[in-house]
Amino acid sequence: MKPPSKHRGKPSRSSGKTSASRPVPARAGSKDEARRVAESWGVREDRSEKGAGKKKAQGRGARTGGKAESAKPHVLKTEADKRADRSRDRKTSSGAAPGMGRAARFSASRPDDARTDARPARSYPPKRRSAPGPRPTPRAKNADGTSSGEQRIAKLLARAGIASRREIERMIAEGRIAFDGVVLDTPATLLSSLRGVTVDGAPVAEAETTRLFLFHKPAGCLTAERDFSGRKTIYDVLPRDYPGGLPRLMPVGRLDMNTEGLLLLTNDGELKRKMELPSTGVERTYRARAFGEISQAQLEELIHGIEIEGVRYGRIDANLERRTGRNQWIEMTLTEGKNREVRRVLEYLGLKVNRLIRTRYGAFELGDSAPGAIAEAKPHELETFIRDMRRRDK
């Protein structure tokens, strides 16, 4: 094997060119003279610390017989080669392969758990905003969409105890209600108060505090304000000597002429309407004495409701209390309260009702009061009842 040349990196005799492809003289007297000649052609020797460190490492590897690196000849590099080496070193130190774009190098330089596909967010200086001005106060709205200061005249008159909403609408259609002397033709008229409103020419007072009375209706009187045939009504039975006098009262629901028991009276037409609606789910309890034969199993079938002559009656909780001869005492609880509902259901089952008493309406019970007696519900009981009724209605 031919021994390695002692003049590595020096000009070759055959070609007359260096490893950097620059023409130099064929012979040089010494290393200094060769270096001066090379520098005259723009070729400089790589004497940087990085290059020196590489040569030392290569020398150590060659001496120890390592296979990772081998001794390389000393090469003189141009400025362009050095710039290329420095650029390659920066790319390698950043973890990116040569030829990778800017976005790829940025992604490669970040840890795996912090890499995202999105570009890094740019920071902007905070915008200067002027102080917000005063905002207009929103107007409160009622359930029907009107403003809090205005309500339909039908609702105001019902709240004042004149009549129910439906009756007031009929009164307006008949031309019995006027405002400031002008007869109204629609129940949708919006007013903030009843000032200037007249019914049959008489001024209407403002609404009073809601009150509720428990009246023990006796049999033989109508649940009506008047009867053109001259029959007795509940207003003929109400006591005249009630302490402080009774306000204008309206019945909550109706009881047949021959039905007795608890009848609620109120001065608030809106409360009357709410309590009568089946959607509020207010329970009514009746005790019926009926002639005929029936079993508890038959009564329990009413829990699913029943349809009679095309009319559907809802859930009825019926229980057989006791028997006296061929008469049956039956307790029935329902929530709809349709016209003559209890009598029609029992007659459909083959019974003949000869006495019917309503003992409870919602949270209010008849108790041991005598027929014709009346008592006012306590304010806290009324408030609790109204609150529970509204919660069920939702």
Determine the length of the chain: 394
Domain of 199, in residue numbers: 151-203
Identify whether residues 273 and 287 lie together within a single domain.
no
Identify whether residues 319 and 346 lie together within a single domain.
yes
Q: Does 119 or 266 have the greater pLDDT score?
A: 266
Identify whether residues 213 and 266 lie together within a single domain.
yes
- Predicted confidence at residue 158, as pLDDT, reads 80
pLDDT at 339 over 90: no
- Predicted confidence at residue 89, as pLDDT, reads 74
Catalytic, out of 46, 256, 317, 388: 256
- Lowest mean pLDDT, pick from 29-38, 135-144, 336-345, 378-387: 135-144
DSSP readout, 280-306? Answer: G---EEEEEEEES---HHHHHGGGG-E
CA dist 392 and 394 (Å) reads 5
DSSP 328: E
The answer to whether position 92 is within a domain reads: no
The answer to whether position 177 is within a domain reads: yes
Q: What's the whole-number mean pLDDT along residues 272-298? A: 90
Q: What's the whole-number mean pLDDT along residues 271-291? A: 89
- Predicted confidence at residue 120, as pLDDT, reads 56
CATH code for the domain in which residue 165 is found: 3.10.290.10
CB 353 within 8 A of CB 238: no
CA dist 381 and 210 (Å) reads 12
10 Å CB burial of residue 186 (0-12, 13-18, 19+) is: exposed
Identify whether residues 356 and 308 lie together within a single domain.
yes
The answer to whether position 141 is within a domain reads: no
The answer to whether position 157 is within a domain reads: yes
Identify whether residues 288 and 164 lie together within a single domain.
no
Neighbour tally for 208: CB within 10 Å: 13
The answer to whether position 125 is within a domain reads: no
Q: What's the whole-number mean pLDDT along residues 115-123? A: 54
CATH code for the domain in which residue 337 is found: 3.30.70.1560
* pTM for this entry: 0.56
For residue 201 the two structure tokens come to: 């020419």
pLDDT confidence of 91, banded at 50, 70, 90? Answer: low
Identify whether residues 165 and 235 lie together within a single domain.
no
**Whole-Å CA distances, 155 to 61, 142, 152, 182:** 104, 12, 5, 19
Identify whether residues 314 and 265 lie together within a single domain.
no
CATH code for the domain in which residue 244 is found: 3.30.70.580
Q: Over the stretch 294-319, which tens digit does the pLDDT of each residue have? A: 999 999 999 999 999 899 999 999 99
Identify whether residues 379 and 256 lie together within a single domain.
yes
Neighbour tally for 257: CB within 10 Å: 17
CA–CA–CA angle 313, 315, 316 (5° rounding): 95
- Predicted confidence at residue 37, as pLDDT, reads 67
- Predicted confidence at residue 67, as pLDDT, reads 46
Identify whether residues 220 and 242 lie together within a single domain.
yes
The answer to whether position 295 is within a domain reads: yes
Identify whether residues 315 and 346 lie together within a single domain.
yes
- Predicted confidence at residue 149, as pLDDT, reads 66
- Predicted confidence at residue 119, as pLDDT, reads 56
The answer to whether position 75 is within a domain reads: no
CA dist 383 and 365 (Å) reads 16
- Predicted confidence at residue 324, as pLDDT, reads 83
Identify whether residues 240 and 385 lie together within a single domain.
yes
Identify whether residues 259 and 302 lie together within a single domain.
no
pLDDT confidence of 66, banded at 50, 70, 90? Answer: very low
Q: What's the whole-number mean pLDDT along residues 165-186? A: 88
- Whether 85 is catalytic: no
Domain count, the chain: 3
Q: Does 49 or 296 have the greater pLDDT score?
A: 296
Q: Which of 308, 366, 296 lies closest to 341 in space, CA to CA?
A: 308
pLDDT confidence of 29, banded at 50, 70, 90? Answer: low
- Predicted confidence at residue 353, as pLDDT, reads 94
pLDDT at 75 over 90: no
Q: Does 271 or 13 have the greater pLDDT score?
A: 271
pLDDT at 327 over 80: yes
DSSP SS3 for 20:
coil
CB 332 within 8 A of CB 342: yes
Most confident of 49-58, 154-163, 235-244, 258-267: 258-267
Tell me the average pLDDT of the chain. 76
In this structure, the dihedral spanned by the alpha carbons of residues 222, 280, 274 and 312, taken in order and rounded to 10 degrees, is -50
